[in-house]
Amino acid sequence: MPLRAFEEVTTVHAALNALAQRADGAPAAANTIARKRAVLYAALGYAVDLGRLEFNPLDRVKWKAPKVAEAVDRRAVVDHTRARRLLAAVRSQGPMGQHLEAFFGCMYYAGLRPGEVVALGKANVSLPASGWGELALNLSDPATASQWTDDGERRRRQLKHRAQAEVRFVPIAPQLVALLRGHLDRFGTAPDGRLFRGEFGGPVSDSVYGRVWQKARAAALTAEEQASPLAARPYDLRHAAASTWLNAGVPATQVAEWAGHSVHVLLKVYAKCILGQEDATRWRIEVALEGS
């Protein structure tokens, strides 16, 4: 398609509609749409600078991104009883499952993103003999296909929404301290200090931990639960962690810091997962109405 085709409104709308979809045709996330639109705008602006276009076509069209639900579906958030059952089911999936029990535990108890767990090294963990420990996170190893990197290796990067070398501290409950201590006692670390290894000694791939999770989910949940969104993805364990902290009364500012979110995003994403407050709110309204 020639660049000047973007001077046609229909071409611009087609491009914007395309970036609002994922590769499988499902709606893209709102943040993804905004990021891709910004990239397209910059590219077309560069074409204007080069004299290939007379104006930026995005400035002359009216287009609204489709509304996409950003809040976490609270049906996907697993409670503590089922979470423990799922972790036990992970442990039952042979040697790799035993190796990954603490991997999933980091998501559930500490709210880590999968890439943050993959990059987790012994130097990042403080594990006392008893009581609470702490994680000092400074790297993420997101799932990136090797063909998209210069050296064919997965890329490590700074934490999401953080500057290079910035550290995020996360307290870890005694249950996770015990899991990690047991993991280190049994499996040690990779030569580079990483806590978790894949099937061939490299970083844990999303396909490996995804397979283990689906098998554990089938073993731990009823047929009705399996058909629901409940803990459908390992990432839902992170949602469960943030929801648990919020429902325990931890201030949103503190939860946002631990989870690596802004407070605005945290409340927008997890608003529907803050349970147990509706009855108290209704009682306060009743009291106010009775007194009027």
Mean pLDDT, residues 109-136 taken together: 93
State the pLDDT at residue 192. 86
Mean pLDDT, residues 238-259 taken together: 88
Kindly indicate the confidence band of residue 243, based on its pLDDT and cuts at 50, 70 and 90: confident
**More reliable by pLDDT, 109 or 250:** 109
**Is 255 inside a domain boundary?**
yes
Mean pLDDT, residues 37-44 taken together: 94
Q: Within this chain, do residues 140 and 221 fall inside the same structural domain, yes or no?
A: yes
Task: Return the beta strands (E) in the chain as ranges.
Answer: 125-126, 133-137, 168-172
**Is 15 inside a domain boundary?**
yes
Give me the chain's average pLDDT, please: 85
Residue 184's CATH number: 1.10.443.10
Q: Taking 80 as the threshold, does the pLDDT of residue 265 lie above it? A: no
Q: Within this chain, do residues 80 and 52 fall inside the same structural domain, yes or no?
A: no
How far are the Cα atoms of 7, 96, 196, 228 from residue 44, in angstroms, in the given order?
11, 48, 43, 43
Q: Within this chain, do residues 96 and 50 fall inside the same structural domain, yes or no?
A: no
Q: Within this chain, do residues 56 and 177 fall inside the same structural domain, yes or no?
A: no
- For residue range 179-196, list pLDDT tens digits in order: 999 999 999 999 889 999
**More reliable by pLDDT, 172 or 68:** 172
State the pLDDT at residue 279. 58
Q: Any idea what DSSP says for residue 155?
A: P
Tally of structural domains, the chain: 2
**Count of all residues that appear for the chain in the document:** 292
Q: Taking 60 as the threshold, does the pLDDT of residue 160 lie above it? A: no
State the pLDDT at residue 152. 53
**Is 122 inside a domain boundary?**
yes
Rounded Cα distance between 125 and 195, Å, is 10
Q: Within this chain, do residues 132 and 171 fall inside the same structural domain, yes or no?
A: yes
Q: Within this chain, do residues 81 and 48 fall inside the same structural domain, yes or no?
A: no
State the pLDDT at residue 284. 67
Q: Percent of the chain having pLDDT more than 70?
A: 84
Q: Within this chain, do residues 85 and 132 fall inside the same structural domain, yes or no?
A: yes
* Residue bearing tokens 């996360």: 170
Q: Percent of the chain having pLDDT more than 90?
A: 51
**Is 67 inside a domain boundary?**
no
Q: Within this chain, do residues 51 and 78 fall inside the same structural domain, yes or no?
A: no
**Is 283 inside a domain boundary?**
no
State the pLDDT at residue 187. 95
Contact status, residue 244 vs residue 250, Cβ threshold 8 Å: no
Long-range CB contacts (< 8 A, 24+ apart) of 187-190?
187/99, 189/121, 189/122
State the pLDDT at residue 132. 95
State the pLDDT at residue 72. 64
Name which of 35-44, 179-188, 267-276 the model is least confident about: 267-276
Residue 144 structural domain: 74-273
Q: Within this chain, do residues 120 and 229 fall inside the same structural domain, yes or no?
A: yes
Q: What residues does 136 pair with on adjacent strands?
A: 169
Rounded Cα distance between 272 and 284, Å, is 20
- For residue range 41-86, list pLDDT tens digits in order: 999 999 999 999 999 999 988 888 777 655 667 788 888 999 999 9
